[in-house]
Amino acid sequence: MNASSIAQLSVNAGLLLPLCMLLTSTALHAATETPALSAATGTGVSFHPPGEHMIPEGKFGDMIRMGRDIMLDTPKHAAPFVGNTLSCANCHLDAGRMAGSSPLWAAYVSYPAYRAKNDKINTYQQRLQGCFRFSMNGSAPPLGDPVLVALEAYSFWLATGLPVGKEAAGRGYPDIDKPAQSPDFKRGQTVYAARCALCHGADGAGQKAAGRVVFPPLWGENAFNWGAGMASFNNAAAFIYANMPYGMSYSLTPQEAWDVAYFMDAQERPQDPRWLGSVAATRTKFHDTPYSLYGQTIQGRILGNSGAPKRPPNESEAHIAP
Protein backbone atom coordinates (compact mmCIF):
# COMPACT_ATOMS: atom_id res chain seq x y z
CA MET A 1 0.00 0.00 0.00
CA ASN A 2 1.55 3.33 -1.03
CA ALA A 3 1.46 6.59 0.96
CA SER A 4 -1.40 8.10 -1.02
CA SER A 5 -3.50 4.97 -0.48
CA ILE A 6 -2.87 5.10 3.24
CA ALA A 7 -3.77 8.79 3.37
CA GLN A 8 -7.01 8.19 1.47
CA LEU A 9 -7.89 5.24 3.69
CA SER A 10 -7.32 7.31 6.80
CA VAL A 11 -9.69 10.00 5.57
CA ASN A 12 -12.35 7.54 4.44
CA ALA A 13 -12.24 5.73 7.77
CA GLY A 14 -12.70 8.97 9.68
CA LEU A 15 -9.40 8.53 11.49
CA LEU A 16 -7.84 11.34 13.51
CA LEU A 17 -4.42 9.72 13.83
CA PRO A 18 -1.58 11.81 12.36
CA LEU A 19 -0.51 10.49 9.00
CA CYS A 20 3.07 10.48 10.15
CA MET A 21 2.14 7.62 12.49
CA LEU A 22 0.71 5.49 9.70
CA LEU A 23 4.02 3.90 8.75
CA THR A 24 2.81 0.60 7.35
CA SER A 25 -0.44 -1.10 6.47
CA THR A 26 0.22 -3.46 9.38
CA ALA A 27 0.45 -0.53 11.79
CA LEU A 28 -2.72 0.95 10.34
CA HIS A 29 -4.59 -2.33 10.87
CA ALA A 30 -3.30 -2.57 14.43
CA ALA A 31 -4.44 0.97 15.20
CA THR A 32 -7.94 0.59 13.80
CA GLU A 33 -8.90 -3.08 14.14
CA THR A 34 -7.14 -4.55 17.16
CA PRO A 35 -5.92 -1.70 19.38
CA ALA A 36 -4.10 -2.79 22.54
CA LEU A 37 -5.95 -0.08 24.44
CA SER A 38 -9.07 1.70 23.24
CA ALA A 39 -12.11 3.49 24.61
CA ALA A 40 -13.78 0.08 24.97
CA THR A 41 -11.28 -0.97 27.65
CA GLY A 42 -12.97 -1.26 31.02
CA THR A 43 -16.52 -0.82 29.70
CA GLY A 44 -17.35 -4.49 30.12
CA VAL A 45 -18.51 -4.65 26.51
CA SER A 46 -18.93 -8.08 24.98
CA PHE A 47 -21.02 -7.07 21.97
CA HIS A 48 -19.36 -6.58 18.60
CA PRO A 49 -21.30 -5.09 15.68
CA PRO A 50 -21.27 -7.00 12.40
CA GLY A 51 -18.46 -6.45 9.94
CA GLU A 52 -19.03 -4.41 6.81
CA HIS A 53 -18.78 -7.55 4.67
CA MET A 54 -22.08 -8.57 6.28
CA ILE A 55 -24.05 -5.60 4.94
CA PRO A 56 -26.83 -7.18 2.86
CA GLU A 57 -27.28 -6.62 -0.84
CA GLY A 58 -30.28 -4.77 -2.24
CA LYS A 59 -31.96 -1.51 -1.33
CA PHE A 60 -31.74 -2.02 2.42
CA GLY A 61 -28.02 -2.65 2.17
CA ASP A 62 -27.67 0.44 0.00
CA MET A 63 -29.36 2.50 2.72
CA ILE A 64 -27.05 1.04 5.38
CA ARG A 65 -24.03 1.95 3.27
CA MET A 66 -25.41 5.46 2.79
CA GLY A 67 -25.66 5.82 6.58
CA ARG A 68 -22.07 4.65 6.97
CA ASP A 69 -20.92 7.16 4.34
CA ILE A 70 -22.80 9.98 6.12
CA MET A 71 -21.01 9.05 9.34
CA LEU A 72 -17.59 9.18 7.72
CA ASP A 73 -17.98 12.36 5.65
CA THR A 74 -21.06 14.22 6.81
CA PRO A 75 -20.38 17.52 4.99
CA LYS A 76 -20.22 15.60 1.70
CA HIS A 77 -23.15 13.22 2.13
CA ALA A 78 -25.53 15.39 4.18
CA ALA A 79 -24.45 18.82 2.93
CA PRO A 80 -27.85 20.60 3.15
CA PHE A 81 -27.99 20.01 6.90
CA VAL A 82 -24.39 20.70 7.94
CA GLY A 83 -23.11 24.10 9.04
CA ASN A 84 -19.50 23.28 9.92
CA THR A 85 -16.66 21.00 8.85
CA LEU A 86 -17.25 18.18 11.34
CA SER A 87 -18.27 14.62 10.56
CA CYS A 88 -20.23 12.31 12.85
CA ALA A 89 -17.21 9.98 13.12
CA ASN A 90 -15.17 12.71 14.76
CA CYS A 91 -17.03 12.01 18.01
CA HIS A 92 -18.49 8.54 17.31
CA LEU A 93 -15.20 6.86 16.50
CA ASP A 94 -14.73 3.99 14.08
CA ALA A 95 -17.83 5.11 12.16
CA GLY A 96 -20.02 4.72 15.24
CA ARG A 97 -18.78 1.23 16.09
CA MET A 98 -16.38 1.93 18.98
CA ALA A 99 -17.64 1.03 22.46
CA GLY A 100 -16.91 3.83 24.92
CA SER A 101 -17.15 6.37 22.12
CA SER A 102 -20.92 6.81 22.09
CA PRO A 103 -21.50 3.94 19.63
CA LEU A 104 -24.60 4.06 17.48
CA TRP A 105 -25.59 0.46 18.20
CA ALA A 106 -25.94 1.18 21.93
CA ALA A 107 -27.89 4.38 21.29
CA TYR A 108 -30.28 2.76 18.82
CA VAL A 109 -31.61 0.15 21.27
CA SER A 110 -32.16 2.86 23.91
CA TYR A 111 -34.78 4.88 22.02
CA PRO A 112 -37.52 6.08 22.26
CA ALA A 113 -36.43 7.72 25.53
CA TYR A 114 -37.06 10.77 27.67
CA ARG A 115 -34.44 13.52 27.33
CA ALA A 116 -34.13 16.23 29.93
CA LYS A 117 -32.51 18.44 27.30
CA ASN A 118 -35.88 19.10 25.67
CA ASP A 119 -38.20 17.59 28.31
CA LYS A 120 -39.74 15.24 25.75
CA ILE A 121 -39.89 11.61 24.76
CA ASN A 122 -37.59 11.49 21.74
CA THR A 123 -37.53 8.96 18.94
CA TYR A 124 -34.18 7.92 17.52
CA GLN A 125 -34.66 10.17 14.48
CA GLN A 126 -35.42 13.12 16.76
CA ARG A 127 -32.20 12.40 18.63
CA LEU A 128 -30.33 12.48 15.33
CA GLN A 129 -31.98 15.80 14.48
CA GLY A 130 -30.37 17.25 17.58
CA CYS A 131 -26.94 16.14 16.40
CA PHE A 132 -27.37 18.13 13.20
CA ARG A 133 -28.64 21.25 15.01
CA PHE A 134 -25.98 21.32 17.68
CA SER A 135 -22.91 19.22 16.93
CA MET A 136 -23.04 19.92 13.19
CA ASN A 137 -24.23 23.53 13.76
CA GLY A 138 -26.66 22.98 10.93
CA SER A 139 -30.34 22.34 10.45
CA ALA A 140 -32.39 19.33 11.44
CA PRO A 141 -33.40 17.09 8.53
CA PRO A 142 -37.18 16.60 8.48
CA LEU A 143 -38.37 13.34 10.01
CA GLY A 144 -38.33 10.69 7.30
CA ASP A 145 -35.66 12.47 5.26
CA PRO A 146 -33.32 9.98 3.52
CA VAL A 147 -30.41 11.25 5.63
CA LEU A 148 -32.16 10.30 8.87
CA VAL A 149 -33.49 7.06 7.42
CA ALA A 150 -29.98 6.08 6.32
CA LEU A 151 -28.46 6.82 9.72
CA GLU A 152 -31.26 4.93 11.42
CA ALA A 153 -30.83 1.95 9.09
CA TYR A 154 -27.08 1.91 9.69
CA SER A 155 -27.59 2.10 13.47
CA PHE A 156 -30.22 -0.65 13.36
CA TRP A 157 -27.86 -2.89 11.42
CA LEU A 158 -24.95 -2.19 13.79
CA ALA A 159 -27.20 -3.22 16.69
CA THR A 160 -27.97 -6.65 15.19
CA GLY A 161 -28.41 -9.07 18.09
CA LEU A 162 -28.68 -6.48 20.89
CA PRO A 163 -31.84 -6.57 23.03
CA VAL A 164 -34.00 -3.45 22.86
CA GLY A 165 -34.61 -1.40 25.97
CA LYS A 166 -31.72 -2.78 28.04
CA GLU A 167 -28.65 -0.78 28.99
CA ALA A 168 -25.84 -1.84 26.67
CA ALA A 169 -22.31 -1.99 28.06
CA GLY A 170 -20.13 0.45 26.16
CA ARG A 171 -22.89 3.03 25.63
CA GLY A 172 -21.84 6.69 25.83
CA TYR A 173 -18.44 7.33 27.37
CA PRO A 174 -16.79 5.49 30.27
CA ASP A 175 -17.03 7.13 33.67
CA ILE A 176 -14.22 9.47 34.61
CA ASP A 177 -13.16 10.19 38.17
CA LYS A 178 -13.93 13.62 39.54
CA PRO A 179 -10.88 15.88 39.40
CA ALA A 180 -8.81 16.31 42.53
CA GLN A 181 -8.66 20.04 41.73
CA SER A 182 -11.28 22.19 40.06
CA PRO A 183 -10.69 22.28 36.28
CA ASP A 184 -8.35 25.10 35.38
CA PHE A 185 -7.90 27.13 32.18
CA LYS A 186 -4.12 27.55 32.46
CA ARG A 187 -3.43 23.92 33.26
CA GLY A 188 -5.73 22.91 30.42
CA GLN A 189 -3.89 25.25 28.07
CA THR A 190 -0.63 23.51 28.95
CA VAL A 191 -2.11 20.06 28.31
CA TYR A 192 -3.59 21.24 25.02
CA ALA A 193 -0.27 22.63 23.80
CA ALA A 194 1.55 19.42 24.69
CA ARG A 195 -0.97 16.76 23.64
CA CYS A 196 -3.61 18.24 21.33
CA ALA A 197 -2.28 21.16 19.29
CA LEU A 198 -0.21 18.96 16.95
CA CYS A 199 -3.42 17.63 15.40
CA HIS A 200 -6.09 20.21 16.17
CA GLY A 201 -3.89 23.29 15.75
CA ALA A 202 -2.76 25.88 18.26
CA ASP A 203 -5.86 27.89 17.38
CA GLY A 204 -8.23 24.92 17.69
CA ALA A 205 -9.23 25.24 14.04
CA GLY A 206 -8.23 21.71 13.05
CA GLN A 207 -6.27 20.78 9.95
CA LYS A 208 -6.96 19.84 6.35
CA ALA A 209 -5.13 17.67 3.85
CA ALA A 210 -5.87 17.81 0.13
CA GLY A 211 -8.79 20.11 0.90
CA ARG A 212 -10.43 17.68 3.31
CA VAL A 213 -10.67 17.94 7.10
CA VAL A 214 -8.55 15.27 8.75
CA PHE A 215 -8.32 16.78 12.24
CA PRO A 216 -11.57 18.44 13.35
CA PRO A 217 -11.86 21.96 14.74
CA LEU A 218 -12.57 22.18 18.46
CA TRP A 219 -13.69 25.80 18.63
CA GLY A 220 -14.29 28.71 16.29
CA GLU A 221 -16.80 29.08 13.46
CA ASN A 222 -16.38 25.54 12.11
CA ALA A 223 -16.79 23.73 15.43
CA PHE A 224 -19.83 22.44 17.31
CA ASN A 225 -22.07 25.17 18.72
CA TRP A 226 -22.93 26.08 22.31
CA GLY A 227 -25.94 23.76 22.32
CA ALA A 228 -23.89 20.61 21.65
CA GLY A 229 -23.31 18.04 24.36
CA MET A 230 -19.56 18.43 23.93
CA ALA A 231 -19.88 22.08 24.98
CA SER A 232 -20.47 20.83 28.53
CA PHE A 233 -17.01 20.15 29.84
CA ASN A 234 -18.01 17.09 31.88
CA ASN A 235 -19.05 15.36 28.64
CA ALA A 236 -15.93 16.59 26.89
CA ALA A 237 -13.71 15.35 29.74
CA ALA A 238 -15.20 11.83 29.59
CA PHE A 239 -14.77 11.68 25.81
CA ILE A 240 -11.22 13.02 25.90
CA TYR A 241 -10.12 10.69 28.71
CA ALA A 242 -11.29 7.57 26.88
CA ASN A 243 -10.50 8.55 23.30
CA MET A 244 -7.80 11.21 23.01
CA PRO A 245 -5.12 11.63 21.84
CA TYR A 246 -6.32 9.32 19.09
CA GLY A 247 -4.81 5.86 19.45
CA MET A 248 -3.65 6.68 23.01
CA SER A 249 -6.77 6.04 25.07
CA TYR A 250 -6.49 6.69 28.80
CA SER A 251 -3.01 8.18 28.44
CA LEU A 252 -4.13 11.43 30.07
CA THR A 253 -4.83 11.49 33.78
CA PRO A 254 -8.42 12.29 34.77
CA GLN A 255 -7.20 15.67 36.01
CA GLU A 256 -5.56 16.43 32.67
CA ALA A 257 -8.72 15.41 30.81
CA TRP A 258 -10.88 17.68 32.96
CA ASP A 259 -8.44 20.58 32.59
CA VAL A 260 -8.10 20.34 28.82
CA ALA A 261 -11.87 19.89 28.40
CA TYR A 262 -12.39 23.05 30.43
CA PHE A 263 -9.85 24.90 28.29
CA MET A 264 -11.50 23.71 25.07
CA ASP A 265 -14.98 24.69 26.23
CA ALA A 266 -13.74 28.08 27.44
CA GLN A 267 -13.29 29.13 23.79
CA GLU A 268 -15.82 30.85 21.55
CA ARG A 269 -17.94 28.83 19.17
CA PRO A 270 -21.17 29.37 17.21
CA GLN A 271 -24.23 30.59 19.08
CA ASP A 272 -26.76 28.20 20.60
CA PRO A 273 -29.60 27.95 18.02
CA ARG A 274 -32.08 28.12 20.92
CA TRP A 275 -30.97 31.74 21.52
CA LEU A 276 -33.54 33.71 23.52
CA GLY A 277 -32.31 37.21 22.71
CA SER A 278 -29.63 37.54 25.38
CA VAL A 279 -26.81 35.50 26.87
CA ALA A 280 -28.33 35.72 30.34
CA ALA A 281 -31.76 34.46 29.27
CA THR A 282 -30.27 31.67 27.15
CA ARG A 283 -28.01 30.53 29.99
CA THR A 284 -30.87 30.54 32.49
CA LYS A 285 -33.06 28.42 30.23
CA PHE A 286 -30.55 26.03 28.68
CA HIS A 287 -27.15 26.27 30.40
CA ASP A 288 -27.83 26.56 34.11
CA THR A 289 -25.36 23.84 35.09
CA PRO A 290 -21.90 23.97 36.66
CA TYR A 291 -20.47 22.27 33.56
CA SER A 292 -21.48 24.90 31.00
CA LEU A 293 -19.26 27.94 30.54
CA TYR A 294 -21.82 29.65 28.30
CA GLY A 295 -22.47 33.14 29.68
CA GLN A 296 -19.52 32.93 32.06
CA THR A 297 -16.68 35.44 32.02
CA ILE A 298 -13.45 33.63 31.17
CA GLN A 299 -10.18 35.40 30.42
CA GLY A 300 -11.99 38.74 30.46
CA ARG A 301 -14.78 37.91 27.99
CA ILE A 302 -18.36 36.71 28.29
CA LEU A 303 -18.62 33.44 26.42
CA GLY A 304 -21.52 33.18 24.01
CA ASN A 305 -21.88 36.94 23.73
CA SER A 306 -21.87 36.87 19.94
CA GLY A 307 -25.46 37.85 19.19
CA ALA A 308 -28.17 35.92 17.42
CA PRO A 309 -27.24 32.65 15.70
CA LYS A 310 -26.65 32.55 11.97
CA ARG A 311 -29.53 30.22 11.17
CA PRO A 312 -29.11 28.02 8.10
CA PRO A 313 -31.47 29.19 5.35
CA ASN A 314 -33.45 25.91 5.31
CA GLU A 315 -33.93 25.66 9.06
CA SER A 316 -37.49 25.29 10.30
CA GLU A 317 -38.59 24.89 13.89
CA ALA A 318 -41.80 23.09 12.94
CA HIS A 319 -40.42 19.59 12.47
CA ILE A 320 -37.87 19.26 15.29
CA ALA A 321 -37.81 18.43 18.97
CA PRO A 322 -36.34 21.65 20.47
CATH at 232: 1.10.760.10
Q: What is the pLDDT of residue 27?
A: 32
Distance CA 37, CA 15 (A): 16
Q: What is the pLDDT of residue 312?
A: 58
**Residue 311's pLDDT band (cuts 50, 70, 90):** low
Q: What is the pLDDT of residue 165?
A: 84
In a domain? residue 132? no
Lowest-pLDDT range of 74-83, 223-232, 233-242, 305-314: 305-314
Distance CA 178, CA 217 (A): 26
Q: Quick check: helix, strand or coil at residue 298? A: strand
Q: Tell which residue, 307, 195, 213, has the closest CA to residue 260.
A: 195
Q: Tell which residue, 143, 149, 107, 106, has the closest CA to residue 126.
A: 143
Distance CA 200, CA 290 (A): 26
Q: Tell which residue, 32, 24, 30, has the closest CA to residue 6.
A: 24
Q: Where are the alpha helices (DSSP H) in the chain?
A: 3-12, 25-32, 58-72, 74-77, 93-96, 104-108, 124-130, 146-158, 185-195, 197-200, 233-243, 254-265, 279-286
**Residue 103's pLDDT band (cuts 50, 70, 90):** very high
Contact, 302 vs 266, CB < 8 A? no
Residues 6+ apart with CB under 8 A from 134: 224, 225, 227, 228, 229, 273
Number of H helices, E strands in the chain: 13, 6
In a domain? residue 108? no
How many folded domains does the chain comprise? 2
In a domain? residue 271? yes
In a domain? residue 266? yes
Q: What is the pLDDT of residue 42?
A: 84
Q: Quick check: helix, strand or coil at residue 209? A: strand
In a domain? residue 71? no
Across the range 66-72, mean pLDDT stands at 98
| pLDDT above 90: residue 45 | yes
Q: Quick check: helix, strand or coil at residue 180? A: coil
Domain range holding 25? 1-34
Q: What is the pLDDT of residue 148?
A: 98
Q: What is the pLDDT of residue 5?
A: 36
In a domain? residue 128? no
In a domain? residue 177? no
Q: Angle at the Cα of 16 (from 291 to 78), degrees rounded to 5?
A: 80
CB-based burial, 32-52: b 16+ in 10 Å, e otherwise: beebeebbbbbbebebebeee
In a domain? residue 279? yes
Q: Angle at the Cα of 96 (from 80 to 122), degrees rounded to 5?
A: 65
| pLDDT above 80: residue 89 | yes
**Residue 316's pLDDT band (cuts 50, 70, 90):** low
- On the 0-12 / 13-18 / 19+ scale of CB atoms within 10 A, 186 is exposed
Q: What is the pLDDT of residue 320?
A: 54
Across the range 160-177, mean pLDDT stands at 94
**Residue 265's pLDDT band (cuts 50, 70, 90):** very high
